Amino acid sequence: MTVDQGRQASGSNGGPYGSGGAGGTSPPVSRRTLIAGGIASVLAAGSALGDTVLRNESQAAARKPRTVFVSSSLGSDTWSGTRARPWATLGRVESALRSGALRRTDRALLRRGDTFFGSLAFPALRGSAGVFTLGAYGAGAKPVVSGYKVSRDKWRRHASGIWKLDLRPGSGHFGGNTGSASTDVAFLKVGRSIKGRKRWTIGAVANEWDFYSGGGFVYVRKATSPGAGVRVCVKQTGITPTSNTVVTNLDIVGHGAHGIAVVSMNNVLIRGNTIREIGGARLRPDTRYGNGVEIWIGSANVRAERNVVKDVYDVAFTLQGEAVGGRSGWRNVHITRNVSDRCNMSFELWSIGPRKKGTGFVNCSFTGNTCRNAGYSWGQAVRPDRAGKGTHLLLYRMDLPTDVEVTGNVFGRAYSNYAYIHDKTAPAGFSSHHNTISLRRGQKIVHQGPHTLETAKAYVRVTGAEVGTAFRRV
């Protein structure tokens, strides 16, 4: 369970997005599949590859849509933003959105093969029709949106076997994400290895690569200086879209909060992205958090499809929040044909608030996804709440009415179990069926229940869950 109650935002009205997408396991046709298939009228589906991204068919008649190009290797923020004279930074895109120079129907395309350090938090968009697209152009690897601060050889000895690095902007002790004011360290990446043993006091930094962050510094236990090139992941969210946006074809990496956070927004499409090495920052004392794609209560008409999410501290995809201040639930949220790999959990639902008519989850689904290696993650090794949490399905506290379908998914191996259900049984309105679930011999289906792979037929008969699901041994 992870809750970021500090974020505040409000959605605006807008029409639904197009569906579409291919690949993955096709779920059986169901009521929710038919509903989702009927909302494909506003956006035309563009290619998820190359430099073509989704565009809105309905254009604002009074203004010609604008496309700007952004290249960290070739551009300058003082230039015009054309393909020949591109901008250079995410900050330039954000300032243009805030000023209204970019608005609905426009596109900002990041150059493939480039790395853009920082993050992008969308303001409310100007304009009355269409969507804004953040995507890619050119050939090669997806453009990288990186949150890493990269150490220079500026470590200073703090005490015997403990080294410190100044992470404050302007210190000159790091490169990469130099503009971020955050100094709350989520994890370190050394070579290909994530070092996630965050300590809450400097006195607890006992073993090699244990770390503590405070006062603008990160402190690391090591016999010799960690040197240059240590990637330091700090607390921030990679992309925070607003209503009426498309985020597509990006590689979002090294953010200590979430990869993408949809905070009470309407009409958002997240398609074809890679989201990796996410989470682990401090939420509150002694509690860490961080998800690949978080969809907060109050969101509607959100679709996440054909993304790859991996190496996340908590959950690949989560719908969560508390019903307060007019935010009462989720409507038409569909997560389909994605891949989750080496995240601690694959899919989570979590809701708090008074149970009233019209609140909670309405027409939401998790379909056709491929989820593997749940709990075989860097997060499982360092989190305090390990029991049962290396799981594909996490149903935490579920106060609000539920209308969620989970079907057509392939759930590969999991460290702990297939499901963790806080209230022991799934709530009314939650339907999981016709999936493929792989477990080890003797491994539990639900952490809180008695049934294992060997008694799967009895589990289906007794609970009524997972009808039509194929249970297999890893």
Per-residue model confidence as pLDDT tens digits over 242-261: 999 999 999 999 999 999 99
| Residues spanned by the domain of 247 | 31-55+236-473
Model pLDDT, residue 62: 65
> How confident is the model over 214-239, as a mean pLDDT?
98
φ, ψ of residue 381 to 5 degrees: the values are -70, -20
* Same domain for 229 and 248: no
Looking at 233, 268, 287, the residue that finishes a domain is 233
From first CA to last CA, the distance across the chain in angstroms is: 27
Name the one residue in this structure whose structure tokens are 């179990």. Answer: 417
Q: Is residue 51 part of a domain?
A: yes
* Same domain for 171 and 225: yes
> How confident is the model over 293-298, as a mean pLDDT?
98
- The model's pTM: 0.88
Distance between CA atoms of residues 313 and 384, nearest Å:
12
Model pLDDT, residue 47: 33
Domain count, the chain: 2
* Same domain for 272 and 316: yes
* Same domain for 448 and 379: yes
Looking at 209, 233, 257, the residue that finishes a domain is 233
pLDDT at 17 over 60: no
| Residue 393 to residues 117, 251, 374, 446, 464, Cα–Cα distance (Å) | 33, 25, 9, 9, 17
Q: Is residue 426 part of a domain?
A: yes
Distance between CA atoms of residues 177 and 149, nearest Å:
5
Distance between CA atoms of residues 214 and 413, nearest Å:
37
* Same domain for 228 and 246: no
pLDDT band at 356 (very low <50, low <70, confident <90, very high): confident
* Same domain for 355 and 456: yes
What are the tokens at 16?
């639904």
* Same domain for 296 and 388: yes
Query: For 373-386, how does the pLDDT look when each residue is reduced to its tens digit (9 = 90+)?
Result: 999 999 999 998 89
Distance between CA atoms of residues 213 and 188, nearest Å:
11
pLDDT at 5 over 70: no
Report whether 413 contacts 474 (CB < 8 A).
Answer: yes
Report whether 233 contacts 194 (CB < 8 A).
Answer: no
Instruction: Collect all residues with Cβ–Cβ distance below 8 Å to 294 and sequence separation of at least 6.
Output: 2, 4, 258, 260, 261, 262, 315, 318, 320
| Average pLDDT in the chain | 89
pLDDT at 33 over 50: no
* Same domain for 299 and 270: yes
pLDDT at 159 over 80: yes
Amino acid at 136: A
> How confident is the model over 80-96, as a mean pLDDT?
98
Distance between CA atoms of residues 471 and 86, nearest Å:
52
Q: Residue 265 CA to chain centroid, in angstroms?
A: 15
Looking at 233, 257, 287, the residue that finishes a domain is 233
* Same domain for 293 and 426: yes
Query: For 417-437, how does the pLDDT look when each residue is reduced to its tens digit (9 = 90+)?
Result: 999 999 888 999 999 999 999
Q: Is residue 74 part of a domain?
A: no
* Same domain for 447 and 338: yes
Query: Around Cβ 204, how many Cβ atoms within 10 Å?
Result: 13
* Same domain for 298 and 217: no
pLDDT at 213 over 50: yes
DSSP of 196-254: --B-SSGGG--STT-EEEETTEEEEE-SS---TT-EEEES--SEE--SSEEEES-EEEE
